[in-house]
Structure 1
Amino acid sequence: MRRAARIALVSLVFAGAGLGLTACQSDKDIDITKLGFESESPEALYNQGLANMKAGNIVEASRKFDAIEKQNPFTEWGRKALVMSTFSKYRMGRNDEAITVGNRYLNQYPRSADSAYVQYLVGLAYSKQVADVTQDQKAANNTIDAMTKVVRDYPDSEYVEDAQAKIRFARDQLAGKEMQVGRYYLERKEYLAAISRFRRVVETFSNTNQVEEALARLTETYYAMGIVEEAQTAAAVLGRNYPDSQWYADSYKLLQSGGVQPRENKGSWIARAGAKLVGA
């Protein structure tokens, strides 16, 4: 970069801070890259970013992409850089930043050719934040929202299948959270609160891996309350849908210990919910 151009660029940077051009001109060794500026063209920076990505230097690649977008906003190179910036931040595990950059891209370019990919990246970043079921599941809800947009808005994209898998994973986490809280109440004999949680799993998360245990826990809880008919119904629905389940074997044994067997009451909410289960 010619010295005159260098000085002009640096003077613009410091002018906003109230410093004069003279102070900038007196520093012959100033490095403008330390001020967040890159002297190369956006195309050159983009290619450098790709080269760094290929070499595994993701931090430097991200810096290049960020510089392009900062120095050339609302241009084609700026748009492409936002895509790669989202990807590089996701790869570095900086998921909050990936979500922020990705959403900025989607707000600015909602109908671009890369929108499906960026929406998918946002969903992946949320999915990486999903915590154990003993913790808050806000990220699971965010994952579902983000990946549902992939499936709904970009049904022909190559990301739909994995987006659906991530939705199933997140829903299983939410169901697992309900089960964890339900077991907590059951252990403390707060039966109505426990039933509320187990019921939510059966009615709202019927296609998750938690349904078998939820039906078994309903059998256990209703039986403990002395509401035997509902306990029998829960066990019957469990046995019809998961006849080889250990949860069914345990529920059957529990009822048998009281001299009763699984028997479905068609008027029960459990029977109505059970009719919607996969395999019902």
Structure 2
Amino acid sequence: MNIIALKILKIEKKMKTFQTFQKKCKTFTYLLFVLFFFVGCRDSERIYQQKPLNMLYKKAMETLKKEDFKEASENFDEVERQYPYSSWAPHSQLMSAYCSFKAQEFPKSIATLETFLALHPSSSSAQYAHYLRALCYYTDMLSPERDNENALLALQGFQEICERFPYSDYARDAELKVDFIQEHLACHEMLIIRDYMKRKEFVAAFQRLSLFIKNYSRSVLVPEALYRLIECHIVLGFPGLTYKTFTLLKYNFPKDAWTSMAQELLMLKN
């Protein structure tokens, strides 16, 4: 056999070896793909597989008893997701909202409650849904970084309960929270007014004080508001309004410290 023939045989041998290696690689890649595919399917089945309703609800209640509220909320969501037309679905929505509230996930709780009220407006549990939604805004408004938006939404929600469900189990608590929220808003408004007075922006202070007395007539800060209104009247040159406001202050709060201060202020002015 000549040299050329030997070289050809060697090349053919190498080609066969390379082809065999390629086939093994393709087989390995295919097996690896199949393996990942079935693992993925098993994971999907583990997460999304259909389960009996009582089993799903039992699991949700177990996580609730463990006070794992975030997980419990997701488990109640799963009950509603897999059995949306069952009689358990509305109850699971409310339980999910309650668990989200306990987990301090207020936006999720509010969204769930709004969905429930849209789907079941005449439900016997609608009163509770309205109350829990207002309670979410109320609890969230106490965060230091929050502005008055949640306070106003909470006020609106509790006032709605007092008007629509005056004899419900939630009406009395709603009334108490309305008073608290109004005082909370009054305190916030008075802080702004004090700042205006400090910066000698008496026209702006006068305008806000007039609205304050109208909107927060039951606030414990009304005596201070009347006193500061007298200060604005003096600076802006309204003598008639000055004495009318002082008369109102003295009549309603005769022994209040702000009344004594107003009297001293008027004596100094004269």
One fold, TM greater than 0.5? yes
Moved over 4 A (4+): 22-25, 131-135
Q: Which has the higher helix share?
A: 2
Report the equivalent of 1:227.
Answer: 238
Q: Does 1:125 align with 2:136?
A: yes
In structure 2, runs of 5+ residues without a counterpart are 1-33
Counterpart of 2:126? Answer: 115
Cα 1:127–1:28 change in 2 (3 A) is closer
CA contact (8 A) 1:201 1:210 kept: no
Query: One-letter code of the match for 2:76?
Result: F
Corresponding residue of 1:104: 115
Relative to the length of structure 2, the TM-score reads 0.79
- Mapped partners of 1:80, 1:86: distance in 2: 10
Amino acid at match of 2:81: K
Which residue does 2:52 correspond to in 1? 41
Task: Determine which of 154, 165, 174 is the counterpart of 1:163.
Answer: 174
Measure the CA separation in 1 of the matches of 2:225 and 2:192: 12
CA distance in 2, matches of 1:255, 1:189: 19
Structure 2 CA distance for aligned equivalents of residues 212 and 247 of structure 1: 6
Q: Report Cα offsets for 1:104-126 as digits up to 9, x if no partner.
A: 11111111111111110000001
Which residue is equivalent to 2:79?
A: 68
Cα distance in 2 for partners of 1:225, 1:188 equals 15
Q: 1:237 to 1:206 in 2, by over 3 A?
A: same
Deviates more, 1:53-62 or 1:86-95: 53-62
2:217 corresponds, among 203, 206, 209, to: 206
Tell me the amino acid that sits aligned with residue 251 of structure 2. R
Q: One-letter code of the match for 1:45? A: L
- Give the greater-gyration-radius structure (CA): 2
Distance in 2 between residues matched to 1:214 and 1:194, nearest whole Å? 10
Aligned residues of 2:100 and 2:109 also touching (Cα < 8 A): yes
Matching residue's letter, 1:173: H
- 1:133–1:173 CA contact under 8 A, matched in 2: no
CA RMSD of aligned residues (A): 2.5
Amino acid at match of 1:155: P
Length-normalised TM-score, structure 1: 0.76
> For residues 157 and 46 of structure 1, what CA distance do their matches in structure 2 show?
28
Separation in structure 2 between the aligned mates of residue 209 and residue 250 of structure 1, nearest angstrom: 17
Q: Which consecutive unaligned segments of at least 5 residues does structure 1 have?
A: 1-21, 260-280
Residues 1:246 and 2:260 aligned together: no
Does the C-alpha gap of structure 1 residues 169 and 151 become closer, same or farther in structure 2, counting only changes over 3 Å? same
Within 5 Å, give how 1:1-280 maps onto structure 2.
26-27=38-39, 30-32=42-44, 35=47, 37=48, 39-130=50-141, 136-259=147-270
Tell me by how many angstroms 1:25 deviates.
6.8
Amino acid at match of 2:151: A
1:199 CA displacement: 0.8
Deviations 1:144-192 (A, max 9, x none): 1111221122222110111112222222232223322222222222212
Contact 2:186 2:221 in 1 (8 A): yes
Kindly indicate whether the alpha-carbon contact (under 8 Å) linking 2:56 and 2:75 is maintained by their aligned counterparts in 1.
yes
CA distance, structure 2, for counterparts of residue 80 and residue 32 of structure 1: 27
Paired with 1:209 and 1:100, the residues of 2 have a C-alpha distance of 35
Contact 1:38–1:67 (CA under 8 A) maintained in structure 2: no
SS in 2 for 1:184: helix
Higher mean C-alpha deviation, range 117-126 or range 129-138: 129-138
Contact residue 182 and residue 198 of structure 1 kept, 8 A: yes
Partners of 1:135 and 1:44 lie apart in 2 by: 40
SS in 1 for 2:140: coil
